[in-house]
Structure 1
Amino acid sequence: MDSDNLLGQFLRARRGLVRPEDLGMPAGDRRRVPGLRREEVAMLAGLSTDYYVRLEQGRERNPSVQVLDALAGALTLDDDAIAHLHQLARPLPAKERRRRRAPRLGTGLLRMLDNWPNTPAVILDRCMKVRAHNLLGEALFAGHTYSGDLMRLVFLDPDARDFYPDWDRVAVNTVAGLREAAGADHDDPQLIEVVGELSLKSAVFRRLWARHDIRQKRHETKRFHHPVVGELTLEYESLTVNSAPGQQLVVYQAEPGSSSEHALSLLGSLTATETQKAEKAQKSQGTQKSQGPRRR
């Protein structure tokens, strides 16, 4: 992964997504590539073409806040993409980025998850690997090849398109969320591994990753087709974990009185029953071992 000029990569990708006609400019019929030309971005941002070209090529590394805001306006970036643009221009020092990778989860946080027996909850790291869950959170994603890794679940799991009825939208948002969470930390070994594998194995991922879409994971309604309880429509809230920077606590809820609430309640009952059976069997085995072999 080329991490030397992240700002230039972002600018090139985003100008390629802006249609000139959307900005009141003639589209023309002699454009060799979609989107805006470099000189058009420079004009819209009030910059010289030479300066903008140096930004894209990585020969200019210290644009001012005013320049970044002007580029954001020219490229019609939303708030998440603007924040990402500033982060790429002024990344954290490498030492600080390494410190934020995969911090330990506190016992209090894990205990809190377990105290929500009726609410699916998972903790995801920046690459959307499940680092912790409660029983219902585990049950929501159970039964797949990549149940504990939501990036690979979306793009590599053979059941993904059945599990996510709105798979196309989920795929777009998942990649945009990964871009936002990674920020300027593209030398993270875990990120390099995930992006490398998915780029090799999924043409859709390659296309979406190249767009440089940015979308912070906050709140959304998502549909699931669960292999045990069927259709579920759940709202989730994504919360940052201050005690573990880079981690997200994602909590799912169903509309009160809805069929999804009943299905979620059924899943909780089935999960609790299976857990009780497993605990009973484990306890029984422990008792037999403590008694030792029986003599005839």
Structure 2
Amino acid sequence: MNRTGTKAELGDFLRSRRARIRPEDAGLRTFGGRRRVPGLRREELAQLAGVSVDYYTRFEQGRAENISDGVLGAVAVALRLDAAERAHLTRLVRTAGRGGGPGQAAEPEAEDPQEVRPGLLRLLESMPQTPAFVIGRRTDILAWNPLFARLVTDFGALPPERRNKAWLVFLDPEVRGRFVNWERKARDLVAFLRFDLGRHPHDPRFAALIAELSERSPEFTRLWEAQEVRDKTHGGYHLRHPLVGEVALAYESLNLPDDPDQSLITYTAEAGSPSEDALRILAGSAASGRV
């Protein structure tokens, strides 16, 4: 993980959530004088959650044992966490509770092959007018249809280890240039990457990806340190393409019920819009093999 393990990640996350809440917004009285920390202090958060300061301190440091769902819920409410943040906090707490003692490294996760079912591959092929792809653990791009490749990049020409959404968005100039509002795309991607890492905190390939992005991209480091957490569900982006110009697309993320690490993501344009016309042109060029 980014620092020294799940306990450090838990502390970083909780401190970042405390920092974004002003005491007066939480209904707490404040007195004059400069505050040494932004947002809520530990004792203020403990007061809001209904636990002792000592207990919350141990909670934040990953040293509290057998934390109940009630305490987790109270802390989540006090920190005003949304559903994705609550799920992330729960995973961090439970994983920290299963860790070894000080100085003991957790066992790395076994690498399970990420294979896309033949039926899902056929589904991708059956949507020639809809850009679609399958994303897996670590934002690995596992499968795609020709229109998605035409829209973003030629994934088939990339080595398998580079078919990763986060790596491409931060380190590939061509892919980066496809997103009109790159900053928003990057922020969303990093927030999901952290959410996904919470599910696989001891995946060595995940750790290697975060390390490479942190070393090579100051923008990634800045966004990673913000501790934002989001799941991918639906939304929209504006992309630009040298053949058709700018297109406005909405995406839907469909999680596979029998494999929580894989999602089918599709892009669509509003009916009758110039963006729909642009997709039609790109679909034609993808089918004919034209650049």
Matches within 5 A, 1:221-240: 221-240=236-255
**Worse-matched range after superposition: 233-242 or 151-160:** 151-160
* Alpha-carbon offset, residue 191 of structure 1: 1.0
Q: Secondary structure at the match of 1:220?
A: strand
For the 8 Å contact 2:114–2:136, the answer to whether it is kept is: no
Q: Secondary structure at the match of 2:173?
A: coil
Q: Secondary structure at the match of 1:217?
A: coil
**Counterparts of 2:285 and 2:196, CA distance in 1:** 34
| Alpha-carbon distance change, 63 to 273 in structure 1, aligned in 2, over 3 angstroms | same
Residues 225-271 of structure 1: CA deviation (Å, up to 9, x unaligned):
12322111111100112343301110111101100000000000011
* Alpha-carbon offset, residue 19 of structure 1: 2.6
Q: Which residue of 1 aligns with 2:103?
A: none
**Counterparts of 2:16 and 2:255, CA distance in 1:** 28
Q: Which residue of 2 aligns with 1:175?
A: 190
Of 197, 216, 219 in structure 1, the residue corresponding to residue 212 of structure 2 is 197
Aligned partner letter, 2:123: M
* Alpha-carbon offset, residue 175 of structure 1: 0.8
1:30 lines up with 2:38 in the alignment = no
Q: Secondary structure at the match of 1:53?
A: helix
Aligned partner letter, 2:146: L
TM-score (norm. length: structure 2): 0.86
Percent identity among equivalent residues? Answer: 43
The runs of 5 or more residues in structure 1 that have no matched partner are: 278-296
Q: Which residue of 2 aligns with 1:294?
A: none
The runs of 5 or more residues in structure 2 that have no matched partner are: 100-105
Q: Which residue of 1 aligns with 2:91?
A: 87
**Worse-matched range after superposition: 86-95 or 104-113:** 86-95
**Counterparts of 2:32 and 2:21, CA distance in 1:** 14
* Aligned-CA RMSD value: 2.8
Q: Secondary structure at the match of 2:254?
A: strand
Q: Which residue of 2 aligns with 1:135?
A: 146
Q: Which residue of 1 aligns with 2:221?
A: 206
Q: Which residue of 1 aligns with 2:127?
A: 116
Of 31, 38, 45 in structure 1, the residue corresponding to residue 49 of structure 2 is 45
Q: Which residue of 2 aligns with 1:65?
A: 69
Larger Rg: 1
**Worse-matched range after superposition: 164-173 or 135-144:** 135-144
* Alpha-carbon offset, residue 115 of structure 1: 0.8
**Counterparts of 2:183 and 2:203, CA distance in 1:** 27
TM-score (norm. length: structure 1): 0.84
| Alpha-carbon distance change, 19 to 164 in structure 1, aligned in 2, over 3 angstroms | farther
* Alpha-carbon offset, residue 8 of structure 1: 2.7
Q: Which residue of 2 aligns with 1:76?
A: 80
Aligned partner letter, 2:57: V
